[in-house]
Structure 1
Amino acid sequence: MVDTLTPSQRSERMSRIRSRDTKPEIALRKALHGLGFRFRVHKTGLPGKPDLVLPKYRCVIFVHGCFWHRHPGCKVATTPKSNTGFWVEKFTRNVERDKRVSKQLEEAGWHVITVWECDLDTHAKALSTAGVLGRDLRMLLAAKSK
């Protein structure tokens, strides 16, 4: 598919992509809050500024966009046909940073959970994903208290 935008229009559009308070992130926050979980949002002072921090569970949650963080097997994780070298390098840096940040957090004693954008793209999926996360978090807390 040919890009119908000029390079300056494409640049303007790409600059408007947010890194926080995205629709998938808000959907997960609402669903988890509805289940009774309390958390901090984009807590500074932790590697990678996790999207959600649940101190009680010593757990952080990252909500990753499938395109930007290369969700394996996801149809959204495509590579643009123009300027492919730039994009491959960009995606590689993102994935490497994700691994590095997860390792730093785990070494500091945090449980790291990654939730993908495609797991939150409908209200039903967001509720289901939050339910699974809630079960896992409660199991973490139970194991921690033993």
Structure 2
Amino acid sequence: MATSTPSPTPAVYSPVAEAERVARLESARRLLATPCYWLTVQSLDADSASAARQLDAVSVLLVREGWVQWEPRSESGFCLMGALECVTAPGASFISTAYRVLSLMVHVRTGMQGSGIAAWNDAAGRAVGEVLELIEDAAELARGWKAVAS
């Protein structure tokens, strides 16, 4: 059964939350500097702008159509993986740089190896605000990559 969540209300700025967000992004950047990590620097160099646009589209879709758990799509909206698949160009694999950056941000938050996106999305107590925050962090990492890599 799908669980839907109403559209999020705008977040109130919190210096503590911002500091935690900066720490998550720095952790992700450190992981990217590790040669064995499966999201290569080369894939971000080649595709960071496209990944950021795709992640922005996922966020817009979830806000507009709704967010659900336990199934890719329902009458109430999309789960994170379903939204990512929906905004992927026809014929392209949704296992893209955007997918890999989302996986990296899930890893930073939870320590889950590989793709824990679906498990993270479906965790009991998960809220749409957390999902949108994860997407925002991933998009920021992708958008800011050129500045970091240079």
- Structure 2-normalised TM-score? 0.27
- Structure 1-normalised TM-score? 0.28
Q: Which has the higher contact order (CA 8 A, sep 6+)?
A: 2
Larger strand fraction of residues? 1
Larger helix fraction of residues? 2
Structure whose alpha-carbon radius of gyration is higher = 1
